[in-house]
Amino acid sequence: MSDQGRFLLPLAAVVLTFLCYLPALSNGFIDWDDSPLLLRNPHYRGLGLEQLRWMFTSRLMGHWMPLNWISFGLDHAVWGMTPFGYHLTNLLLHATNAAVVYALASKLLLLSLPERLTSDRMRVRVGALVAALTFSLHPLRVESVAWVTERRDVLSGLFFLLAIWAYLKYCEGRASADGGGRWPYWAAVVLCGLALMSKVMAVSLPVILLLLDVYPLRRLGDGPRGWLGPAARAVLVEKLPFVALCAGASALALWAQLAGGSPVPLEALPWSGRLAILGYQLAFYLGKTLVPTNLAILYELRLPLALETWRIALSVATVAAVTACALALRCRVPAALIAWAAYVVILLPPSGIVQSGYQIAADRYSYLACLGWSMLAGAGVAALGRVAALPAFLVIATLGGLTWTQAKIWHDNETVWRRAVDVDPRSGIARANLGAALSAHGRTEEAMAELREAIRLRPGYPDAHLSLGLMLAQGGDPAGAVPHFSE
């Protein structure tokens, strides 16, 4: 393939990604988070000094994300409150991420595969394309793209991925005869800061870079014994600017969470329960990566966890088995252990360890965490060649079809919450939100039925009581509304 032709594959990744998410462009805003963050919030609407000061100091709903707010401010300047423009920005960012994943996969495959395979550059490029498309077209990515609020995933993801690319460029230069320049290193540091300003979940970046130093860069030596030598110490020192940025961003995230978040207290969820949720989440995203069905906006956390004992036990056993397999294969397939370690590390910040909100898991948390599985898929196709390419692209086509369908589910409040109820009929929160959506369309009887069922399933959920109380009061039954308002 010619030098000009080699750009066709990443361009294909961008175009295919854009096409598979086209239904998202006709979606509206969702009341769940879009409403308080965007529809009822005038503070981000503009890019003057007053708005910028608010963006950098806001703790609205427990988030510190100034760069994300700036992107919303730009959207408002161009599109006003037309949802199409906000969805278009999300989709363009995600499509760009597909191209960056292609570039990353190309570098990582050249570093990790034997020379007899990498000498065939077309083989590497096809493997990189498989990695990019299994990442971008997977239905688990839909929540981050089709939900305007989750701009932070695709924006932070862009800077996170570019930071890794710049770091690999820096390491490539260090390995060259002239030692390369330092600009890619400092570019990676700046990109790390930008990722953190979009979503603090990017705090995992220094550890990810260190894992890449272990393999495939092999900058720490051939084994754990070399990890304490002078060369390894120099590699560790390189991470200090990244760690400093992540520490500062973590402090700001805690500051925001304490002001406007909804952290679950230790009294309600002790450490044993938090570790159990972590085990459940690790197995959940792995399972949904392999079988991406029954995806929804909410997977409700029910306390006490004793209600979910068998699910959690099965999940913990799965995590233990995968860990054992990755360790057993560490010499033959070191990339598998690195991918698994990166998966765990990226999922730690939003995991049950620091449980916040009503969810036991959320599709959006898989956005970067599952990147390692896409890289392994690309490596497998590059290693096996044509025998694996056709099945891989059939799988990718299936993923694209599922993504198209999943993007339609995010069309409006009713479609997204009806899907959540279909996936989990026992979710009181999903039923309460479906009831509110039906009420907004004047479907009073259906709405009341959903709200009463929501209260039966989750008696202490205030939004369900408030919605039902308002409907009763407006329907001429103020006496019936009073008990719900008191809740």
Write the pLDDT tens digit of every residue in 22-45: 999 999 999 999 999 999 999 999
pLDDT recorded at residue 318: 94
Per-residue confidence (pLDDT) for residue 96, from 0 to 100: 98
219-273 confidence digits (pLDDT tens): 987 666 667 777 788 899 999 999 999 999 999 998 988 877 566 666 667 777 7
pLDDT of residue 354: 73
The pLDDT of residue 1 is 54
Q: What is the pLDDT of residue 44?
A: 96
d(CA 315, CA 361) in angstroms, rounded, equals 13
pLDDT attached to residue 273: 78
- Give the model's pLDDT for residue 125: 95
Which residue type, as a one-letter code, is found at position 418?
A: R
Position 302 scores a pLDDT of 84
Domain boundary assignment for the chain: 5-409, 425-486
- Second CATH level (architecture) for the domain 425-486: Alpha Horseshoe (1.25)
Tell me the C-alpha to C-alpha distance, in Å, between residue 303 and each of 114, 156, 272, 433, 444.
50, 32, 13, 20, 31
pLDDT value, residue 139: 98
Is the backbone of residue 55 left (phi > 0), alpha (psi -120 to 50) or beta?
A: alpha
What's the confidence (pLDDT) of residue 261? 58
Q: Is the pTM of this model over 0.85?
A: yes
Neighbours of 220 (CB within 10 A): 20
Structure-block tokens of residue 162? 């570019």
**What phi, psi does 308 have (nearest 5°)?**
-120, 30
Low-confidence ranges of the chain (pLDDT < 50): none
